[in-house]
Structures are given as structure tokens and as C-alpha cells.
A and B are shown apart, each in its own frame.
Chain A
Amino acid sequence: MKKLLIVDDEPNIVMSLEYLFKKEKFEVFIARDGAEALEIVKKNKLDIILLDIMMPNVDGYQVLKYLKENKDFKEIKVIILSAKNKTTDIELGLKLGADKYIAKPFSTKNLVKEVKQLLKLKYI
């Protein structure tokens, strides 16, 4: 079972994502801000993270930077899910090492597809 972490501070978004990926047979973890996310990352060997950017305390960029600079975690796939969709935001996210940048509001079908694609690639 693939391990997926949802990092978002909006309870209803978290609720929908949780439902969506449990149904797809993922083991789902939930973090409500960056600090919580890092805790979970350290304890579990994750496959993929769905990461929001605008969060209190530690924001998404900081989480991403931490992951990509750490050799234990840099293989974890990261999809940024953010309402910020200016070109500069997207460029910054990809530069920091995100695998995908998906703007909110997103299509759930598309999101599931992207996640599956990313994880399959890992095993080619």
C-alpha cells in the first residue's frame, strides 16, 4: 500500500482528499501545517505528499526545501496544491523540486491520475 500525506489547513479540503485516496487504497496521513508534516515525514516512509503552500508557521515552500535538501526524503514525490497560481509562484515551486504544481480549485479525477502516474514512474 502506497503511503500518501495530505498537508493542508482547510478541514474540508482535507476531508475530500482523504476520502478520495482511501478509496484508491492509499494509506493516508494528514498534517494541518508544515511542522506537523515534517513530524510525519520523519516517522513514516512516505511515497507521495500533497502539499499546500499558504499555511501558518512552517509554510509549504519551507517543507519542500527541507525535503529536497535531505537525502533521506528527497526521493519522496511532491505535488503542490495551491490557490497561488502566478507564474512566479509556480516557477519557485518547481525550482525547489516539486514534481507537479496543481492549482486550486482542482479536478479530483485529474489529481488521482497525476498521483498514479508519478508513482508508477518511480518503478520503471
Chain B
Amino acid sequence: MSSFLVISIIVVYLAFIFYVAYWAEKNSKSKWVNNPYIYALSLAVYCTAWTYYGSVGLAATSGLKFLTIYIGPIIIIPSWIILMKKIIRITKGNKISSLADFISLRYGNDRFLGALVTIVCVLAIVPYISLQLKAISETFNVITNHTISGNSIINDTTFYIAILLAIFAAFFGTKYTDATEHHKGIITAVAVESIIKLVFFLAIGVYVTFYLFNGPSDIYEQASLLPNFNSQQTINGLGGGFNWFFLSLLSMVAIMLLPRQFQVAVVENKRERYLKKVAWFFPLYLLLFNVFVIFIAWGGNIIFQNQGVDADLFTLMLPLKNNNEFLALLVFLGGFSAAISMVVLSSLALSTMLSNNLIIPYGFLSKYSRGESKENTESIKNIRRISIFSLIIVAYFFYKNFTLDRSLVSIGLISFVVIAQLAPAFFGGLFWRRGSSKGAKYGIIIGFLVTAYTLILPFIIDSQVIESSFVNEGLFGVELLKPYDLFELNLFEPVPQAFFWSLFFNITVYVIVSVNIIGSYRERNFAEMFVDNSKYASLHEDAYVWKGEAYVKDIRKVLIRFLGTRRTERALNLFFMKYKMDVNNQLADARLVNFSEKLLTGSIGSASARILISSVVKEEEISLKEVLSILDETQKTKETNKELQERDKQKDDFLDTVAHELKTPITSIRALSEILLDNEDVDYETKNKFLSSILNESERVSRLINNILDLEKLASGKEKLDLNKNSIKSTIHKSVEAVTQLAINKKIEISETEVTDANVIFDEDRIQQVIINLLSNAIKFSDKEKGKIAVRTKINEHRIEVSVEDNGKGIHSDELISIFDKFYQVKNQTVLKPVGSGLGLAISRQIIQSHKGLIWADNVKPIGARLTFTIPLNIKKHEKVIDSR
């Protein structure tokens, strides 16, 4: 295919991607841009050109091992619903914009740690980016039939592509100074590319499997005749199993900690609930991508047997060999889109880290503390733009000047191992309070050095074909120090070996240093906030411990330098409103200091934000103990406040009900007396009826008031019970006598035959009140003439049980408990209005509780309700029985 045609197609394709990004930015509110599928698809930036070409290459030369790179993510991603949620909450709550910022903030706004993480990421990712450029360049040469690439940059198409990608990333990636803003253009473009690369890869898979061969079984049969076939397609014993295990673990870490993955999964996440979609969608995407890998690899092995074709290029060579240029072009474009997504997002993520965690905190703080907001934000954006260009250009020269002859997969995996050095600090910081900044730093450094020794050095030596005894005989000829078999551990292949040893040393150092050296109070403050995120997230700025002296106007000045006057005022007004503070407050508190740090964090990184804010405030040292006790107290105050509010509400409700209950009789009294007063001609009978109603309603009011007072007295424990030894039988009898008239009126029978006597200690008047209440209730709900009520007792060694049973319609099962609530009125009541105040059962419950007994209601068969209370037998005479709440 002519270069001109391919270049034109590339230009059209890039124009399309630019347009998608542009459209998404313009329609940033559209549901096409904001949905969980875009989010899930953008995660597929994980599948780079390596997936396209490298995994086929790996499958062709070493069998199924390529799967480990996808098994890790598939295993870990369902757990994101919990794990990633926590990470996203912390990130959003603190306005974190990158992995470096996350780790730096967790260990107390540590500037050096942020820079260290940034450097590790750059070292890991730049070669990885150059690998993508290499893939573009090589496949371009294959498809255009160039055997040698132009050596001068001017003739190299890849160089121009790299520049275009840098422009793309810089244009859509630095629109806002606040790096926590979502880059919807880039993300949508990446999501679209994820669809393109998958569809094209499936197309070539189907082509190879069903067109070049007769389906999977045909390929299998032919491939199984090849030499090495059997040994390739097994896990290969225990040693191989360990390799599989560690490689899967490695990719598990990579899917979370690669800078571009952190960018798409955490920083660009819009809603937590998107994670639920991702949990099944993304593993499915990876599975689809891998369905045909093995068939393409076997197909390539069969067709290109002994022809010396680079297995990494099978995907492209298979259609070319069969003169299907169109399909070859699709493959090229798929690989191209995979490569450019990775380049754009990686350079974007790295540029944020470079600016916010390395360049600004170490070089620009004093400049910014004097500059105006416009200059400052422009300067921040320029730093990021320059970073993007530099990263891509450095990656380009890296690829140009080092003969990266090794298979695509090697460099990618080295990147993974280097990035994995951040895992102990990251996950440790997330789950272990004691993890300290010193531990994190030493751990990362040691881990990196071990990786360099066991993997990077030998790799460079191998790839540059430098004669050296280092790899085969170990440093200074010491066998124990052979980089690929460190300490004679020769179970592993180089990558899992390096991963194992580097993390072994990394974690050991991290843990030992953290346990032995106590970090600063700030570190511990953030440790609490990160580890116990669910507990402190609701406290917002209150979870930040700070003591010192600060003025609002100084802080305002700093904010204005970055946000401008308008945004600063708006943010501060919101803050004052949130905490109901006076806008004219002169002194700033811990919350404002934390709030301001967060406001700046998105633009200049957490370490710089902290340095700038602390330059205008006078801070006092606090001891670690104090931090913990303040945090604890804040948490408790918040809980107490909630409790108080709850109690207030209950009190309000109670007062409302009381007011309503009092107003009802007063309404009758007022209306009736007004009528009597206004109408002199009321006949004698009516007048009598009205006057006796007024009398009844007045009695109702006073009864209500007495009951309320009674209840309050009992509940507050102000009234002591008059405890004496009494005969329960006689108390019951007195109570029954009190309601006899009521029962006779309704022709209801009350039986006391099942009452046995016992001498028990209780307050006779109060217990009599309870029994009368229960009896009048039973009478009220019993039918006239048919009603039968029975009082019974049961005694055992611990308590006496008294029950009142009727044969009324019973109590609805929902209401068995609530009938004891104040003013509770039974639903579907046939009796129009209860004679009582609605407080009888509530008072009874209070009295029984004061006696440390129980009271409950249940229904009996065939029909009827039974209310039962108990009094314990071990109450001592004149024991103070109060506080039943």
C-alpha cells in the first residue's frame, strides 16, 4: 500500500478522533458523554498496541501465558465496587488529581514523596510510550512495504504522529488549571477508540479463524502438529504456576496503579455507581479481546513456519500475506488507535504529576506567591503543555536511539514491575494507619533499586548486546547475585522474579520503618482520614486537625492568586454558608485552612497547596496523641449532636400532639359557651346538654394535663416509688372494684377466679393504676353484653405475671408494640373517641418499667386481646428504682 494513502487515512482518522473529542467537550452535558459505558470503555486504555500485537507474539512463542495480563484485572475488578469506591471517595473529597498526589497527601502532604512517585512513574512510563511509538512506526513500515525506516527525523512519519498526539493531549488536556476537572473530550475519544480497536481485532480474529482456516478445531489440529506445541499450552508445573500467579498479581496492581489507569478509573470517574457497570462490562471486554488471540497466534505459527517472521507482527502479516490489504489496514488502524489512546492518556496523567508534584513544588512556589491569578494559571497550564510535549518527544528519541529489539511484551512488563513499587505505599496507606511517609519513601527506593538490578540492568545489557559477565555470572562473579536468579531463587522467569524480590524488599522496608519511626501528626491525621474514610468523610473539613493563628484575609490573598477574585469569593461564601459562619470573620479556623488547601490542590498539587497556605498562617505543633483525641472528639460531638437533634425532634412531636389534644376539648368548650352567650333563646334541654358537655370537656382537659405531668414525672425519675410488701390479690380486687360500674353499664363480666395470692414488693397505688388502665381498655374494646374479661396471675421464683384478657376483636399485629406509645390511637377503632387521654398505656408502661418489669400485648385464640405485665420478685424494700429510660 502506498505511504501516501496510508498517511492520508491516518490524517482522516486523527481528524475524526479530534472531532469526537471536540464534540464531547462542546456537548459535555449530553448523555452520550456522561454514561457508565463511556467510563467502562475508557478503562480499556489498558489494552495498548501491546495487546494488539504483543499478546499474539507472546502466545505464539510461549503459549497461554499472555492471559495472565488479563486474568489479574478480571479477578480484581469486581472488588472495585468496594475498593475503588473508597479510593474515589478519598480522591474526590480531597481534590486529588493524580496517583502521586494521592500518595503524597496520604503521608501528610509530603513533597518529596510526591516527587519520588512522579519520578518512578516517568521512568516506568516513558519507555512504555516509546514502545507504542515503535509499534506505530513498525506497523506503518510493514503496511507500506518499507523495509527500513527513514533514519532522519524529517522523513519519519512517526515523528509527525507523535507531535500531533502531543498537540491533541495538550489541547484537550489543559483546558482547566484545576486538574481534577474531567477531561470529557479525551475520555470520550478514548472510549470510541476502545470500540474501534476491539471491533477491528475481532474482525481479524474471525478472518483468521474462519476464513484462513476452518474454525478453531481446524487451527488446533494443524497447530498441534507443530514442535513445542504441548509444552507451550500448559502452565508447566509448580514453577510455572508461581510464574502465573505472580504475573496475574502484577497485572492486578497495574490495572489500578498505572498512571493512565488511575486517571481514567479514579480522576475521571463521574459517579460511584458507574463501578457497578464496570464490574461486569470491563471483564467482558477483556474476554472478548482475548478470544481470538490464541487462534491468530497458532495460525501465524502454522502459516509462517520457519520463515523468521516476527511473531509480534502476525496480526498484521496474516492478512497481508493473503493479499487482503483492506483488512490489514483495519488491523493497522486498530493497533494505531490502541497506541495513541495510551500515549495521550499517559502523557496527560504524567504531565499533571510532573507539574503538580515535581516542577511547581520545587521551582515555582515563590514565583506564584507573588504573581497575579491570570499569569499563574497560564504558567501552570504552560508547564503542563511543555511536560506533555517533552514526555512524548523524549519517548520518541528513546525509541529512536535504543534498539528496542526485544519483544513488545518485555518493556511493558518492566513498566508494570516499576509501577508496582508504588503498591505497598498505596495500599498500605489505604488500609494501615501506621504506614508512614519515611517507610513509603525507603520502600519505594529500595524496591526500585532491586527492580533495576534484577530486571532493568540485565535487560539493557542484553538488548544492547554488550559483552558482560554480569548477567550470567552475577555481580563480581558472585553466583548469589545473579540478577535473574537472585539468592539462587531459580523458580521464576525474570519478570516474576524481579516482581517478587523487589516487592519483598519494598514491603519489608516499608513495614519495618513504619513500625519503628513514628510519623508527624499531619501524617497521622491524613492516615486516619484515608483508612477510616467512611467514618470521617461525613465530617468534611472537621476531620482536619490544625492549631494556630491565621487570618481570613491572608488566605483569601493566596486563593485569589490562583483562582481569581470571583471564584475565590464564591468559594469562600459557600464555605461560610456551609458552616453557618459570619462572612466578616477575621480569624480562620482549621476548617478554612483545610478547605483552602483543597481548593488549591487541584491546580498545584497537595504539597504545594500546603506550603503556600502555611506560608501565611502561624501553625502550632500538635502531638500525635492530641490529633487522635481531637479526631475522636469531633466524631463524638457529631454523634451527640445527632442524638440531641433526634431527642429535640421527639420532644417537638410530643408537644405538637399535646397541643392538639388540648385544643380539641377547648374548641368544644369555646364553641358551646359562645353559642350559649350569643343566643338567649336556647331552650332548656339544649342548654343543659351544652353545659354538661362543657363540664365533660373541662374534665377531659384536666385529666389530660394530670396524665402528662404524671408521665413526665415517672419518665424523668423524679418521683420515687413507694415500695412496700403488698398482696397482689387484694390490689387486683381493688382495681376491679374501681371499674365495676363501667363494666355493669356495658353488661360485661370480669372474672378474678384465676388469681393466686402472693406478697410482692411494689407501689400499690401505681400498680393499681396500671391494672385499672388495662381493665378500662378491655372494657372499651369489648362488645356490650357479650364481653368477658379475665384477670389471671402466674408466679414463678423470679417474677409475678399479671394478665388481663378480653374477648374483643383483638389487636392488629402491627400495633402490638405501638399501642404503648404516647397518644397512640388504634386504627379502625369502632368506638369513636377513646374515653381516655391516649396516655393510659404509655403511663402503664412507664410504671412497669420503673418496677423493672415488662409489659406487652398479644392476641389469644379464638378471639381477644391480652395485656400482660410482670413484676420481679427480687426488688428490695425502698430500693431506689428510678431512671428507667
Interface residues of A (CB under 8 A from B): 9-13, 15-17, 19-20, 23, 32, 54, 56-57, 83-84, 86, 104-109
Cβ-defined contact, B667 with A106, below 8 A: yes
Cβ-defined contact, B671 with A16, below 8 A: yes
- Taking the complex as formed, is B629 at the interface, i.e. its CB lies under 8 A from any CB of chain A? no
Nearest A residue to B830 via CB reads A56
* Also in contact, A11 and B833, with CB within 8 A (given A16-B675, A17-B671, A104-B667): yes
B675 proximity list for chain A (CB < 8 A): 16, 19-20, 108
Complex Cα spacing A52 to B713, Å: 33
The interface-forming segment of B657-665, B765-773, B786-794, B877-885 is B657-665
Cβ-defined contact, B672 with A12, below 8 A: yes
Complex Cα spacing A16 to B669, Å: 9
- Taking the complex as formed, is B828 at the interface, i.e. its CB lies under 8 A from any CB of chain A? yes
Complex Cα spacing A1 to B272, Å: 66
Cβ-defined contact, B660 with A12, below 8 A: no
Nearest A residue to B693 via CB reads A12
- Taking the complex as formed, is B668 at the interface, i.e. its CB lies under 8 A from any CB of chain A? yes
Nearest A residue to B669 via CB reads A105
* Also in contact, A83 and B667, with CB within 8 A (given A9-B832, A54-B660): yes
Cβ-defined contact, B679 with A23, below 8 A: yes
B693 proximity list for chain A (CB < 8 A): 12, 15
Could you write out 30 A-B pairs with CB less than 8 Å apart? A9-B832, A10-B664, A12-B665, A12-B672, A12-B696, A12-B697, A13-B664, A13-B667, A15-B668, A15-B689, A15-B690, A16-B672, A17-B671, A20-B675, A23-B679, A32-B832, A56-B825, A56-B829, A57-B828, A83-B663, A83-B664, A83-B667, A84-B660, A86-B656, A105-B671, A106-B667, A107-B670, A107-B674, A108-B675, A108-B678
A86 proximity list for chain B (CB < 8 A): 656
Complex Cα spacing A19 to B689, Å: 12
A15 to chain B, nearest CB (A): 7
Nearest A residue to B659 via CB reads A83
A105 proximity list for chain B (CB < 8 A): 663, 666-667, 669-671
- Taking the complex as formed, is B813 at the interface, i.e. its CB lies under 8 A from any CB of chain A? no
Give 5 A-B pairs besides A10-B833, A16-B690, A104-B664 with Cβ atoms closer than 8 angstroms.
A12-B697, A20-B675, A83-B660, A83-B664, A104-B667
B666 proximity list for chain A (CB < 8 A): 104-105
Cβ-defined contact, A19 with B832, below 8 A: no
A13 proximity list for chain B (CB < 8 A): 664, 667-668, 671
B570 proximity list for chain A (CB < 8 A): none
Which residues of B in the span 688-723 have a Cβ within 8 Å of any Cβ on A?
Answer: 689-690, 693, 696-697
Complex Cα spacing A13 to B672, Å: 8
Complex Cα spacing A57 to B660, Å: 18
A87 to chain B, nearest CB (A): 13
A123 to chain B, nearest CB (A): 27
Complex Cα spacing A12 to B699, Å: 14
- Taking the complex as formed, is B827 at the interface, i.e. its CB lies under 8 A from any CB of chain A? yes
Which residues of B in the span 298-313 have a Cβ within 8 Å of any Cβ on A?
Answer: none
Complex Cα spacing A48 to B665, Å: 24
A15 proximity list for chain B (CB < 8 A): 668, 672, 689-690, 693
Complex Cα spacing A71 to B91, Å: 56
Interface centre among A12, A20, A32, A83 (most CB of B within 10 A): A12
A69 to chain B, nearest CB (A): 25
Nearest A residue to B700 via CB reads A12
- Taking the complex as formed, is B686 at the interface, i.e. its CB lies under 8 A from any CB of chain A? yes
Complex Cα spacing A54 to B659, Å: 13
B674 proximity list for chain A (CB < 8 A): 107-109
Chain B binding surface SS class: helix
Nearest B residue to A57 via CB reads B828
Complex Cα spacing A57 to B832, Å: 12
Q: How many A-B Cβ pairs are below 8 Å?
A: 70
Chain A binding surface SS class: loop
A11 proximity list for chain B (CB < 8 A): 832-833
Cβ-defined contact, A10 with B667, below 8 A: yes
Nearest B residue to A23 via CB reads B679
A56 to chain B, nearest CB (A): 6
A12 proximity list for chain B (CB < 8 A): 665, 668, 672, 693, 696-697
Which residues of B in the span 409-442 have a Cβ within 8 Å of any Cβ on A?
Answer: none
A23 proximity list for chain B (CB < 8 A): 679
A57 proximity list for chain B (CB < 8 A): 827-828
Complex Cα spacing A79 to B832, Å: 23
Cβ-defined contact, B663 with A10, below 8 A: no
Nearest A residue to B826 via CB reads A56
A16 proximity list for chain B (CB < 8 A): 668, 671-672, 675, 690
Complex Cα spacing A16 to B697, Å: 13
A112 to chain B, nearest CB (A): 10
A124 to chain B, nearest CB (A): 28
A17 proximity list for chain B (CB < 8 A): 671
A20 to chain B, nearest CB (A): 6
* Also in contact, A10 and B668, with CB within 8 A (given A32-B832, A57-B828): yes
B829 proximity list for chain A (CB < 8 A): 56
Cβ-defined contact, B668 with A106, below 8 A: no
Interface centre among B660, B667, B679, B829 (most CB of A within 10 A): B667
Complex Cα spacing A32 to B833, Å: 10
Nearest B residue to A112 via CB reads B678
Cβ-defined contact, A109 with B667, below 8 A: no
B814 to chain A, nearest CB (A): 15
Complex Cα spacing A108 to B667, Å: 10
B670 proximity list for chain A (CB < 8 A): 105-107
B697 proximity list for chain A (CB < 8 A): 12
A106 proximity list for chain B (CB < 8 A): 667, 670-671
Complex Cα spacing A36 to B826, Å: 19
B822 to chain A, nearest CB (A): 15
B655 to chain A, nearest CB (A): 12
B818 to chain A, nearest CB (A): 15
A115 to chain B, nearest CB (A): 14
B828 proximity list for chain A (CB < 8 A): 56-57
Complex Cα spacing A15 to B663, Å: 17
A104 to chain B, nearest CB (A): 4
Complex Cα spacing A114 to B666, Å: 21
Cβ-defined contact, A108 with B671, below 8 A: yes
Complex Cα spacing A99 to B686, Å: 32
Complex Cα spacing A100 to B833, Å: 26
Nearest B residue to A111 via CB reads B671
A13 to chain B, nearest CB (A): 5
Complex Cα spacing A65 to B57, Å: 73
B581 to chain A, nearest CB (A): 28
B667 proximity list for chain A (CB < 8 A): 10, 13, 83, 104-106
Complex Cα spacing A88 to B671, Å: 26
A108 to chain B, nearest CB (A): 5
B690 proximity list for chain A (CB < 8 A): 15-16
Complex Cα spacing A106 to B674, Å: 10
B734 to chain A, nearest CB (A): 32
B668 proximity list for chain A (CB < 8 A): 10, 12-13, 15-16
B679 proximity list for chain A (CB < 8 A): 23
B669 proximity list for chain A (CB < 8 A): 105
Which residues of B in the span 815-846 have a Cβ within 8 Å of any Cβ on A?
Answer: 825, 827-829, 832-833
Cβ-defined contact, B686 with A19, below 8 A: yes
Instruction: Mark each residue of chain B from 840 to 867: 1 if its CB lies under 8 Å from any CB of chain A, else 0.
Output: 0000000000000000000000000000
Cβ-defined contact, A104 with B833, below 8 A: no
Closest 3 CB pairs of A and B: A12-B668, A16-B671, A83-B663
Interface centre among B665, B668, B679, B689 (most CB of A within 10 A): B668
* Also in contact, A104 and B825, with CB within 8 A (given A9-B832, A9-B833, A23-B679): no
B400 to chain A, nearest CB (A): 74
A7 to chain B, nearest CB (A): 13
Complex Cα spacing A43 to B825, Å: 30
A61 to chain B, nearest CB (A): 15
A10 proximity list for chain B (CB < 8 A): 664, 667-668, 833
Complex Cα spacing A84 to B825, Å: 17
B296 to chain A, nearest CB (A): 67
A120 to chain B, nearest CB (A): 22
A9 proximity list for chain B (CB < 8 A): 832-833
